[in-house]
Structure 1
Amino acid sequence: MDNDLIDLMTQWRHALHTHPETAFEEIATAKLVAGVLRRHGFEVHEGIGQTGVVGTLSRSAGPAIGLRADMDALPITEANGFAHRSQNEGKMHACGHDGHTAMLLGAAVALSRDPAWAGTVHVIFQPAEEGPAAGARSMVEDGLFERFACDAVFGMHNWPGLPRGHFAINDGPMMSSLDTFEIVVDGKGSHAAMPEEGSDVLVCAGQIVIALQTIVSRRISPGESGVVSVTQIHGGEAWNVLPDRAVIRGTVRCFSSAVQERVRTSIGEISTGIAQALGVNATLDYRFGYPATINSPAQADLAASAAEATVGSSNVRRGCRPSMASEDFAFMLHEKPGAYIWIGVDEGATAAPLHNPRYDFNDAALAIGANYWVNLVKLFGAR
């Protein structure tokens, strides 16, 4: 990749990092993206899924590929002190989406200069990946794949813990699903000195929390994966009063819809059973969120081949351990076959973790990621 383009990617990345925008507020980010794409011959469409941008470029008859990068930042106050630190207080690119956007923009420019590929490429710049906003779902619901027909769609995420110059990918699950639940326990409040006059919802809530931990250890096969985490317990306001209501909230993560349904059923059975035994009522509100990010076999193999063409086969890890974190690119993979790959960013020591106030994307990985995208497009068009 030409040095001038590497310099441009670095400039774009630093500009985005300095001016981060959170979910569905990526106005300036989308404007930068659209401007670069138009200057390099792409047909540009804005406002897809609220603030998403899609650029299309065709070389000849052939297959159509979708390449996705996420654009949004996190509501985190940055702790770094370098020149390109965030100037938007309380917001920062702590997950590397500034790098993702710069790499895909660099690949788009490189493809516009290169006649040696066939077919159509749709570069998809997605808003609102972080949190429950699910910008990928918003783009799909806004007709993404009806308006921009793709034979397959691909995503990439930087990965601290993986050395720069390395990639990792699975044929199958890469990231888990993410569901949330709320259990409301209702009983009869009483004076703390006279518990026999009421029904103690806090004792019930405590037993439910402990029992939920048996779902993964006793109701899910050891050959399957799942995580049930209680993250909140609310109840009571006074030192000397037993409340009449307690609320338990948490998350569920797994890699298959069968396990997802088993966990949901188990949470309901456990909370209802314990509540009945203790003379109170428990009501479950289970909310399905992000599905699991699962790569299609053929597309995962193609992505791995593109990574090998970029950094060599010895630096591409096939069959890596999936992450229990979640990713809304899963909504796109539910619509189209495709694959999601991790790109390494570490230089010797492990980089600050994602979602950390000291995280910063490694600029030395920009050219590697952009070259991966270009190689993927060329391999896809040559099938």
Structure 2
Amino acid sequence: MASDLDTGKIGLTYGQTHAASSKFIIVLKGRAGHISKPHKGVDAIIMAAEVIQALQRIRTRQVDPMETVLIGIGRIKGGDRYNIIPERVEIEGTLRTLSMEVHKKIPALMEKAISCITSSMGGEYELTFVEGYPGGINHPDTTKFVENCGVKLLGRDKIEIISKPSMGGEDFSCFLQKVPGTFIRLGGGGENYKYSLHHPKFDINEDSLVIGAALFCQIVFEFLG
């Protein structure tokens, strides 16, 4: 379901459709104390601020600028009270790349940056990577077949060829590594359906479900001849 695509349309991509994605968890460990005596503690929040900045510099200073890399932070948790130096901060985020080769190199760069920062400030850390999904690559023949089915069912003006891959992760990418296939974006956007996935106001335009079901039927009929 794609809210950035009008209801009634479908979107197809020839080639890479999604990024490779992984989740990471960073635990920074300092030493608690009264905030009036910062020299006697190790502030995990200050460490976290330095770490987050350093992670962004990996993309801009340690990776070929022609490569697409996203290191995003989605959750930070640390501290219990305004006047206590926190001894622990948890950071959760995601690594997204279009190249699997680049994807495999980033964790070591992250570890080096985090290690340098925490050791220089007298802290410790734990870094955990949770393997996600590979980059999704649509099979050209299957994509063309689905495009032709869409044109026959909906008309040429309802088929949108999307040239750029999404930096989203997709479990369907695992299937694409095993058998030829293509990822179809089902348009679900409109005046009352403008919020994207993961937005708290996201809603499904149920009118698009009819189109999706009809397209799958068309694909089956055409495939069976």
**TM-score scaled to structure 1, two decimals?**
0.52
User: 2:42 is matched with which residue?
Assistant: 199
Rate the CA distance shift 1:171–1:295 in 2: closer, same or farther, 3 A.
same
- Pairing of 1:67-86 with structure 2 (within 5 A): none
Q: Give the AA of the match of 2:194.
A: A
Pick aligned residue for 1:219 from 49, 55, 62: 62
Rate the CA distance shift 1:160–1:236 in 2: closer, same or farther, 3 A.
closer
- Pairing of 1:1-383 with structure 2 (within 5 A): 158-347=1-190, 349=191, 351-353=193-195, 354-355=197-198, 356-357=200-201, 359-363=203-207, 365-382=208-225
Rate the CA distance shift 1:311–1:223 in 2: closer, same or farther, 3 A.
farther
**TM-score scaled to structure 2, two decimals?**
0.84
User: d(CA) in 1 for partners of 2:60 and 2:223?
Assistant: 43
Rate the CA distance shift 1:278–1:351 in 2: closer, same or farther, 3 A.
same
User: d(CA) in 2 for partners of 1:333 and 1:210?
Assistant: 35
Q: Contact 2:193–2:202 (CA<8 Å) still a contact in 1?
A: no
| Structure 1 residue 350 displacement after superposition | 6.4
Unaligned stretches of 5+ in structure 2? none
Q: Contact 1:212–1:267 (CA<8 Å) still a contact in 2?
A: yes
User: d(CA) in 2 for partners of 1:366 and 1:195?
Assistant: 58
SS at match of 2:74: strand
SS at match of 1:185: strand
Deviations 1:140-163 (A, max 9, x none): xxxxxxxxxxxxxxxxxx322212
Deviations 1:347-366 (A, max 9, x none): 5x362324444613242x34
| Structure 1 residue 322 displacement after superposition | 2.5
Aligned residues: 223
Q: Contact 2:22–2:132 (CA<8 Å) still a contact in 1?
A: yes
User: d(CA) in 1 for partners of 2:79 and 2:188?
Assistant: 46
Identity percentage of aligned residues: 27
| Structure 1 residue 335 displacement after superposition | 2.5
Q: Give the AA of the match of 1:361.
A: N
| Structure 1 residue 168 displacement after superposition | 1.3
SS at match of 1:339: coil
Unaligned stretches of 5+ in structure 1? 1-157
Deviations 1:42-77 (A, max 9, x none): xxxxxxxxxxxxxxxxxxxxxxxxxxxxxxxxxxxx
User: d(CA) in 2 for partners of 1:189 and 1:294?
Assistant: 48
SS at match of 2:183: strand
Deviations 1:100-121 (A, max 9, x none): xxxxxxxxxxxxxxxxxxxxxx
Rate the CA distance shift 1:226–1:245 in 2: closer, same or farther, 3 A.
same
